[in-house]
Amino acid sequence: MKYILSIFILLFSYDVFGQVNIESLRDNDKKEGLSLEIGAGFLGQTGNNNVITGDLKTDFHYKINNNYFFLKLETAKGKKDDEYFVDNSFAHMRLTKMYSQYIGAEIFTQIQNDKFKKLNIRQLNGLGLRSEIFKGEKDIVSLGVGAMTDYEIIEENSNFDYRGTSYISVAHGFDKEKRNQLTLVGYYQPLFTNPEDYRINAELNLKSSLIETLNISLELTVVYLYDTNPPDTVLTNDFIVKSGFLINI
């Protein structure tokens, strides 16, 4: 079993859970069997501002033959003086079975909440198809398309819808071991009954080996989230930049 401890130092952080990009969590190069990733981040400041923020995450991966299962759990909280300004969490579980390089099936479920987006709960359940249209020694291009149910409780109001979901993922390794890697992912999720109601998620992730002998890497993630129909007083877009260290133990 392989354990990875990720210690993130956040530079800028807004709502990281408005729309979860699971494709960026997928690691196709993992060896068969079970692996676990545990991450934690902390920021503290006293003086003119008394600020505390922290996040915890756990990723379980299980891979055997052409079957790939993963479960992600994450929570983040932040407090300035005596008031919270970050309070969100999510859990996502997904199973992918590839019948060949070019066609596979996926099934997933997700639950999340975000106090400062007035989102008490969002429950997603869906299935879809996946294709790795190009797979080279250092590069992989993947496409996915599917459908999902979308149940939300915003403040005291509940809503149930059906959404489409599609993504494209491009990953390039700068070396064969992919210690240095760039990943670009885009998601598009329209409402079936009203295509003008949609969500977009675009993410860039760069990982670079910092101290190879100690298995320490530097990671930079840039995310743009857009929702055409957010709750009242909530902005339609979020922009996130975060960087940190990835320690492989």
CATH number of the domain to which 56 belongs: 2.40.160.40
User: Structure tokens of 173?
Assistant: 């390794």
Write down the pLDDT at residue 7. Answer: 39
**Which of the 8 DSSP states describes residue 28?**
T
For residues 201 and 184, the answer to whether their CB atoms sit within 8 Å is no
pLDDT in tens, 74-117: 888 888 877 877 788 989 999 999 999 899 999 999 999 888 77
SS (H, E, C) 124-185: EEEEEEEEEEEECCCEEEEEEEEEEEEEEEECCEEEEEEEEEEEEEEEEECCCCCCCEEEEE
What is the average pLDDT across 39-66? 76
pLDDT in tens, 120-162: 899 999 999 999 999 888 899 999 999 999 999 988 889 999 9
How many distinct structural domains can be found in the chain? 1
The span from the CA of 151 to the CA of 154, in Å, is: 10
User: Structure tokens of 120?
Assistant: 């008490």
Write down the pLDDT at residue 117. Answer: 77
pLDDT classification of 174: cutoffs 50, 70, 90: confident
- Mention every residue, 6+ apart, whose C-beta is less than 8 A from residue 51: 43, 44, 45, 78, 79, 80
The span from the CA of 88 to the CA of 115, in Å, is: 6
pLDDT in tens, 5-50: 443 433 333 343 444 556 556 665 666 788 777 766 666 777 666 7
> What's the whole-model pTM score?
0.76
Provide the residue range defining the domain that includes 234. Answer: 2-248
